[in-house]
Structure 1
């Protein structure tokens, strides 16, 4: 499944493999991801007009990686030491940084 426009998708495998967990960006962040993707995310795609940060711990804490808006992606979260360590997702109106 490709990530639809307006959504942020977290995939359980690197290079966007497996069935993604999909979140509509306008619905905002998630302090504790559902068990289907919690501690399982390996790649992320952002097809929304907002930036998205994935965090290693719940409540938007710990290490994080930011995905730019409008088609930004990270194909392998190992480079951020976050592979299989996704715990929360924050949707932002500001840029990465």
Structure 2
């Protein structure tokens, strides 16, 4: 589960471990969130899920910050809970 940012695969190893599920959650225009990196990873990793939310806020799920987006954050929670239920 990667939210608000992504790291290229080569930073920590040669590739994503086979069979390990992953989701990416980022806002489309978030300049700090590495949306382009998340898109590239989702295209590279078999079975990866990329969820893009409209907007440019970075930490949009953090209720304590002014950039909080309640609607997008609620959707993230639904998707994360479904992901966790699916992977057991």
TM over 0.5: no
Structure having greater relative contact order (Cα 8 Å, sep ≥ 6): 1
**Per the shorter chain, which TM-score range?**
under 0.3
TM-score (norm 2): 0.24
**Whose strand proportion is higher, 1 or 2?**
1
TM (norm. structure 1) is 0.23
